[in-house]
Structure 1
Amino acid sequence: MATLTFKQKLWLPLVVSMIVLAAVSVAAALMLRATRMEERKNDLVNVAHVGLAIVEEYASLAHSGALSEPQARQQALARLRAVRYGENGYFIVIDSTPRMVMHPMKPATVGHDLASVADADGRHHYVAFAQAAQAPEGGFVDYVFPRPHTTQAIAKLGYVVRYAPWDWIISTGAYIDDIDSAFTRSVYASLGILIVLATLLAALVAFINRSIVRTIGGDPTIAARIADGIAAGNLVTATHVHDAHAQSLLRAIAHMRESLIGMIARIKHASDNVAMVSGEIAGGNVDLSARTVDQATALRETAASMTQITSQVRQASDHARAANELAQRAVAITDRGGAAATQAVSTMRDISDESKKMVEIIAVIEGIAFQTNILALNAAVEAARAGEDGRGFAVVASEVRSLAQRSANAAKEIRKLIQNAVGRVGDGAELVEQTGATIDEARGAIAQVMEIVAAIAQAANEQTAGIEAVNASVAHMDGMTQQNAALVERAATAVESLAGEARQLQTAIAVFRIGETASA
């Protein structure tokens, strides 16, 4: 294949196809001949078995006694002699000697020994008949024999079957020259059609080959050589496509080479610029990364300070809240103390009023004691006047006066005690009133302190919320700064990778040779 030219390679499929078609045509003709031969053999087998059936029919008549055996043989031969099929088909009967028993076309040969009889090719076909008939199913025999009323021997196929009880070999045959003639005609017709097809296909292939050559523009080896040069990076190889068609492959390759030269030149220039710019970006990213890291550190420290301040302010807010709660408890205590002082003053006044009532009662008791004393004096006077009769009454009057004096003395002592108690109760009431006033003043002061502490707690809460918001903002700024630092690092890595890719691109582009003019 390597030694063939491009045009020879284009014609090779047609030649191979014609050879294959010729082989297929001959094979089809041979298969058709074999099919016809098989059909002819089947016909001979069927006809021979019809003759055998006739013989068996008369043999059964002889066996049943309807006919004698000689009569049965005679009538069977008559039936076979009269049978005709096709154009020239008939039966002959021989025995195993071989000897002719019946021949409808040559009755003179009946009874003759056929062992020495041979056909035109020298084959002893009757001996072959006798040998083939020994098989249970009979057999075929090839020989040559002239047609009736002719002398030219032609190919004939015979089939024999033996009826053993009578030692009859029933033979029939068919000429096969028509099958060979049909085979020859089929081969000639196929070859004629093949020649016509070959002529048409040759014209079509010639037209297609011319179109292919015109489409390629020359031998494909030239295109392969140019493509190999381009694949190796050699873009300055001359194409020599002046004679090629404008729409041919070689012209397209030449146009591709010119386009590649311009494109590679532009890519080379762009890769140089990318390498330079990526280097500058890499340097800037390094500085930006360092500044971003410093900023992230400062923000982290600020966040830590804000966290500490937030903790202190939250602690102050907690203390202010605790002080507010204590002030509220103190107000509650002073309220209870004021209520108790007010209740004590009211109780002192009630006691003072009751002491005055007791003084009045004691005054009544003193009056009663005074009057009792007077009555006792009067009773003593009257007892003295009564003499001995009033002595007992005088004793009673003396005792009553003594009791009245003692009651008057006790009432005086009780008055003194009540007066002292009333004085002390008055002093206690004044002290309780002063205590209530002091408690009221303390409650007012504590209320002011509570208001101030509440304002301080509210301010501390607001400061805590504000500082927490600032702390959250600083933490968010810290996170964003760290993300920016990570992005800057990734950008630096990407730029370094881009610089590496640019260097690889420069290395890859350097493989191509495009000439000084195109490079400039």
Structure 2
Amino acid sequence: MNTLRGLSISRRLWLILIVAMAMLLALGLLMLKQIHDDLYEGKAQKTQHVVQAVSGVLSYYHGLETAGSLSREAAQQQALTLISTLRYDHDDYFWINDLRPYMVMHPTNAKLDGKDLSAIKDPDGFAIFNEMASLAKTRGAGMVDYRWPKPGAQEPVQKTSYVQLFEPWGWVIGSGVYIDDMQAEFRAQAWKASWAGLGIALIMAVLVTLIARSIVRPLQEAVQAMANIASGESDLTRSLDTHGRDEVTLLAHHFNAFTAKLRNVISHLQATASALEQSSTEMGSDASDAQQRSQQQALQMDQVATAINEVTYAVQEVAKNAEHAASEMRGAQSQAEQGQQNIDSSLQQIDQLSGTINQAVEVIRTLATQSS
């Protein structure tokens, strides 16, 4: 089975045709052989039947001899005269020879009458009449195949003869049919069978061609469409032909359903991609706004840091002034008033510093709120 998978479907269909034609040829040859054998057997049996029938003539005249109505010579002569005139199938005849073998009567070749036949052989070296005499002695009757010229012709042709011994007179009566007639008939029937076989072969070839096209073409279209899908370059709007009721049509139905689902999936993916693109654009805008706010917050933090530095510097100045004022108070009572003024001035600066610190705290809280 796996070996056949290496062949395309069209080649497998043609392989079926070749095997069928080979089997048809083998069957035709067997039938022709049977026809040949039947024709030969029919010829042989017909010859046997006519020889057996004509042997009744010899029996009739032998009966006259036995009854004393005729002498042996007269009975034999009348039997020979009658048998020499007998014909069947237009040109087929009977002859009589004895067991020596000598020719007693040959209706178409009178030169053989009374002659010794032991030296007569066919072109293949077959001693015809010796074999007939031997067959008649041992078996009483039988078929002999040899080559012999037709009446009026010189070239010998294939012939089969049936010979039968008429024991009271020691005669061997025989008749034969020329096989070339049977061969011609066989060739005619063989030509008829060949033309019939050729017609059947042509019809089968046309049917296989049509069947192969009805299977292979839709399959090739389906394979090409699937290959395009696999390569990512397919037109998903393409549909296969679904006219039919076979398995290929069922495959086309499934393919069309598959491409329809793919189109739906791709449409859904396109919609999702558009939504994602819109969301990305909005996220980019939000990121830009957040960046601007971050920059503003950084600027405000810088301002806070500057203010804190100024407060620190002012605190240091206040501390220096307070230390100086305390020194002055311990140094001289006279400068108490002046110290009191300095202290008042310091307290005013401290109040201003406290207000500045409160502003800084408010700015930090505002920044913290905005950051949240």
Interval containing the TM-score (normalised by the shorter chain): 0.5 to 0.7
Where does residue 325 of structure 1 map in the other structure?
A: none
With over 3 angstroms needed to count, the CA separation of the structure-2 counterparts of 1:208 and 1:75, relative to structure 1, is: same
1:208 is displaced (CA, Å) by 2.0
Shift of 1:147: 1.2
Name 1:140's counterpart in structure 2. Answer: 143
Alpha-carbon separation, structure 2, partners of 1:198 and 1:86: 38
Deviations 1:78-134 (A, max 9, x none): 222222222112111111111111112222222211111011232111112112223
Q: 1:156 aligns with which of 150, 156, 159?
A: 159
Deviations 1:342-387 (A, max 9, x none): xxxxxxxxxxxxxxxxxxxxxxxxxxxxxxxxxxxxxxxxxxxxxx
Give the structure 2 partner of residue 52 of structure 1. 55
Once the two structures are superposed, the pairs formed by residues 257-406 of structure 1 within 5 Å of their partners are: 257=258
RMSD: 3.3
Change (3 A) 1:44 1:240: farther
Gaps of 5+ in 2: 243-248, 264-372
Contact 2:39 2:186 in 1 (8 A): no
Aligned to 1:71: 74
Residue matched to 1:30? 33
CA deviation vs aligned residue, 1:136-186 (integer Å, no higher than 9, x gap): 551001111111111121111100000112110001111121221122222
CA distance in 2, matches of 1:13, 1:101: 63
Give the fraction of aligned pairs with identical amino acids, expressed as a percent.
29
Cα distance, 1:237 vs structure 2: 7.5
Q: Deviation digits for residues 403-454 of structure 1, max 9, x if unmatched?
A: xxxxxxxxxxxxxxxxxxxxxxxxxxxxxxxxxxxxxxxxxxxxxxxxxxxx
Work out the CA distance in 1 between the residues paired with 2:233 and 2:13. 23
User: How high is the TM-score relative to the length of structure 2?
Assistant: 0.60
Select the residue among 13, 16, 26 that pairs with 2:16: 13
Alpha-carbon displacement from aligned partner over 1:41-90 (angstroms, at most 9, x marks no partner): 22111211122111111112111212222222222222222222221121
Any conservation in 1 of the 2:95–2:174 contact (CA below 8 Å)? yes
Q: Distance in 1 between matches of 2:139 and 2:114?
A: 25
Higher relative contact order by CA 8 Å / sep ≥ 6: 1 or 2?
Answer: 1
Aligned to 1:245: 240
Q: 1:174 aligns with which of 153, 177, 181?
A: 177
CA 1:48 to 1:238, structure 2 compared with 1: closer, same or farther past 3 Å?
Answer: same
Shift in CA distance, 240/105, structure 1 to aligned 2, threshold 3 Å: farther
Name the SS of the counterpart of 1:134 in structure 2.
helix
What amino acid does structure 2 have at the position aligned with 1:17? Answer: A
Q: TM-score, with normalisation over the residues of structure 1?
A: 0.44
Distance 1:244 1:116 in 2: 89
**Contact 2:99/2:170 (8 A) holds in 1:** yes
Q: Number of aligned pairs?
A: 252
Distance (Å, rounded) in 1 between the aligned partners of 2:69 and 2:232: 106
Q: 1:5 to 1:214 in 2, by over 3 A?
A: closer
1:254 counterpart residue number: 255
Residue 59 of structure 1 aligns to a residue whose secondary structure is: helix
Equivalents in 2 of 1:240, 1:35: separation in Å?
A: 69
Q: 2:102 is matched with which residue? A: 99
Partner of 1:113: 116
Could you say which structure has the larger radius of gyration?
1
**Aligned equivalents of 1:109 and 1:2: distance in 2?**
73
Task: List per-residue Cα deviations over 1:27-52 (Å, max 9, x = no partner).
Answer: 33322222222221221112111221
Which segments of structure 1 move beyond 6 Å, counting only runs of 4 or more? 236-244, 258-262
Structure 1's unaligned 5+ residue stretches are 224-235, 263-520
Aligned equivalent of 2:42: 39
The farther-off stretch of 134-143 and 94-103 is 134-143
Query: Which deviates the most, 198-207 or 166-175?
Result: 198-207
Q: Which residue of 2 aligns with 1:517?
A: none
> Whole-Å Cα distance in 1 between the matches of residues 27 and 143 of structure 2?
30
> Whole-Å Cα distance in 2 between the matches of residues 124 and 256 of structure 1?
86
Quick one: distance in 1 between partners of 2:151 and 2:205?
Answer: 50
In the alignment, the residues of structure 1 paired with residue 69 and residue 194 of structure 2 have an alpha-carbon distance, to the nearest angstrom, of: 63
